[in-house]
Amino acid sequence: MSGLGKCKICGNILVSFNYNVTAAKKTYELQGIKCSSSSCDYKMPSEAKEKIRMTIDIARDNIGKKVLYRPYRDCSEELIEYGIITSVDRNVYVRYGEDSISKATYVEDIELI
């Protein structure tokens, strides 16, 4: 197993992984980085082979799915948050971490993971 650095949560080795996301009736192949420990939840998506531009319709089709919130392009890893899409009207509502309520989030600031 080739390492890509150490996990910032538990210190184990980071490894790459591939996964698919279906959005707007199209499947996208993505690649990311995750912790090699099965007990650690650390995952970080990397650039998709084809960028998925999040829209309200894609968010609506993916209620209950995990997303990554990035407040601005190239922000530091400490600013990135993870959550779950809970509802969509003209806004996307995401419940982050251990929060008990969802927060309205700009659709262009989230990515499916």
Superfamily of domain 53-113: Ribosome maturation factor RimP, C-terminal domain (2.30.30.180)
Residue extent(s) of CATH 2.30.30.180 domains in the chain: 53-113
How many Å apart are CA 11 and CA 35, to the nearest integer? 9
Report the chain's mean pLDDT, rounded to a whole number: 79
Amino acid at 49: K
Q: Strand 43-45 relative to strand 26-35: parallel, antiparallel, unpaired? A: antiparallel
Q: Among residues 24, 18, 76, 16, which one has the least CA distance to residue 49?
A: 18
What pLDDT, in 10s, does the model give residues 35-75? Answer: 777 777 766 665 544 456 688 988 998 899 888 898 887 88
Residue 109's SS3 state is helix
